[in-house]
């Protein structure tokens, strides 16, 4: 815990507007990293704006922490001629800026005062390197094997202009202005070294929106994330983080997909049909095989009529690790809503982010199976895609990617 006297000017300004809020922990990281000293007026409840997550550490922030209420995802392409030295300079500057902003301080350069009156609001930065970056910096021989391009999957409708990229960043925060400000600062600091390739904005449940911590819902109204693997579970470290002696040791890989939901079609289904497609009750997320949300699904269970309780093409059956040789990913998804398409249908859905030690044994086999036999696939369109190597975290005084670039 940190006393108010040790907080930055920006964080103190943020606390003035947030004082008195009774904050839950349903969507953010307040339960892990609340820096506000409890006072008599708040009964020990963390103040939303003062929740801070350290940037430095053995692993990058924004992977193991609970998903925040807002996210900015973006990819950049390195400028021609920037090379390895330009990339090193950029990552040094971005890392220094991320550390300051995560503490609630002003940016060291390109500060635009957008978030001047806000605290850190659980701000996190996660940086990744695309396969193309290694050719552009003369580091082809150091490109990890896991950055093999993702294959084409049945039903994909990928827009390459909104996919891939040399550099990827995930910026999470419990405040939309804080997240936008952070990305805007990085973009301005990249001038001459890298240009923005694509940008996407997502959202989740705001901390305190539910009376107690609950698994979030997606735009289909389904409880989403029940079976996400958790730190401490058997095999978690090996399935999510990379090993070995190379520069990526302790890092991970991120698969990023923009998945549009065909909401008009989905919402025309009665609730019981929606539940059969997913394999869970919509009201509480419990599997149709019985129990509560956290009850392990019984894929062999049958109803009174002898039919499978969880249909053969139900999403939770097809996606289950047991159906995919134990393939495991740590998902960190956000919803998005970008208005309407030309036909009036919603341009809305899921910004899917998944971390794993090896995409070829994690995401790829699961997505292949989903594309072939998941009943939910009729209501989804995968419209952008990216795969990135996510380096380990930076120590104090260091920068993300230092194990590769120095």
Q: Catalogue the active-site residues.
A: 224
β-partners of residue 129 are 167, 389
Inter-residue contact 390 to 133 (CB < 8 Å): no
> Which residue shows structure tokens 């199976």?
369
Q: Is 277 helix (H, G, I), strand (E, B) or coil?
A: helix
DSSP assignment of 226-247: TT---TTSTTHHHHHS--SSST
DSSP code of residue 258: E
For residue 390, the surrounding DSSP H or E stretch is strand 380-390
Q: What is the dihedral of CA 44, 46, 52, 58, to 10 degrees?
A: 60
CA Rg value for the chain: 21
Inter-residue contact 139 to 91 (CB < 8 Å): no
Inter-residue contact 351 to 202 (CB < 8 Å): yes
Cα atoms in the Cβ-side hemisphere of radius 13 Å centred on 212: 0
Return the number of other C-beta atoms located less than 10 Å from residue 268's C-beta: 10
For residue 393, the surrounding DSSP H or E stretch is none
> Which residue shows structure tokens 């996400």?
228
Q: What is the C-alpha to C-alpha distance for residues 127 and 188, in angstroms, rounded to an integer?
A: 17
Inter-residue contact 206 to 25 (CB < 8 Å): no
Q: What are the CA-CA distances from residue 161 to residues 158, 223, 398 (Å)? A: 9, 31, 33
CA dihedral over 53, 199, 237, 232, signed as positive or negative: positive
Q: What is the C-alpha to C-alpha distance for residues 381 and 379, in angstroms, rounded to an integer?
A: 7
Q: What is the dihedral of CA 328, 333, 339, 341, to 10 degrees?
A: -10
Residue 96 φ/ψ, nearest 5 degrees: -65, -40
β-partners of residue 202 are 71
β-partners of residue 331 are 354
Residue of 257, 110, 81, 286 whose CA lies nearest to 185? 110
């Amino acid at each position: 815990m940190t006393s108010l006297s040790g907080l930055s000017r920006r964080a103190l300004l943020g606390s003035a507007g947030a004082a008195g809020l009774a904050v839950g922990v349903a969507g953010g990281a307040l339960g892990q990293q609340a820096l506000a000293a409890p006072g008599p007026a708040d009964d020990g409840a963390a103040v939303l704006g003062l929740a801070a997550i350290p940037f430095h550490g053995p692993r990058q922030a924004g992977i193991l922490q609970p998903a925040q209420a807002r996210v900015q995802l973006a990819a950049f392409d390195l400028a021609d001629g920037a090379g390895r030295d330009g990339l090193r300079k950029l990552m040094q500057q971005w890392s220094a800026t991320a550390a300051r902003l995560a503490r609630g301080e002003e940016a060291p350069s390109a500060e635009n005062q957008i978030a001047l009156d806000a605290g850190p609001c659980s701000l996190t930065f996660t940086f990744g390197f695309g396969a193309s970056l290694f050719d552009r910096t003369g580091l082809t021989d150091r490109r990890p094997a896991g950055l093999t391009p993702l294959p084409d999957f049945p039903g994909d409708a990928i827009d390459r202009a909104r996919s891939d990229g040399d550099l990827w960043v995930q910026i999470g925060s419990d405040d939309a202005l804080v997240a936008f400000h952070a990305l805007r600062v990085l973009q301005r600091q990249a001038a001459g070294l890298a240009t923005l390739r694509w940008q996407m904005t997502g959202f989740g449940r705001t901390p305190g929106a539910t009376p107690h911590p609950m698994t979030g819902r997606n735009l289909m109204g389904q409880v989403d994330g029940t079976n996400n693997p958790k730190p401490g579970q058997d095999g978690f470290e090996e399935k999510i983080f990379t090993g070995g002696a190379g520069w990526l040791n302790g890092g991970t890989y991120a698969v990023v997909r923009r998945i549009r939901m065909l909401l008009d079609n989905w919402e025309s289904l009665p609730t019981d049909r929606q539940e059969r497609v997913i394999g869970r009750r919509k009201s509480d997320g419990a599997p149709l095989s019985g129990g509560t949300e956290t009850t392990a699904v019984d894929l062999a269970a049958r109803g009174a009529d002898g039919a499978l309780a969880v249909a053969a093409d139900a999403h939770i059956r097809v996606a289950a690790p047991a159906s995919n040789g134990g393939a495991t990913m740590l998902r960190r998804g956000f919803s998005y809503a970008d208005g309407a398409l030309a036909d009036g249908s919603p341009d809305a859905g899921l910004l899917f982010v998944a971390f794993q030690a090896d995409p070829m044994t994690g995401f790829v086999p699961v997505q292949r199976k989903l594309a072939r036999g998941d009943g939910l696939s009729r209501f989804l369109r995968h419209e952008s895609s990216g795969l990135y190597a996510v380096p380990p975290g930076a120590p104090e005084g260091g920068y993300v990617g230092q194990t590769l670039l120095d």
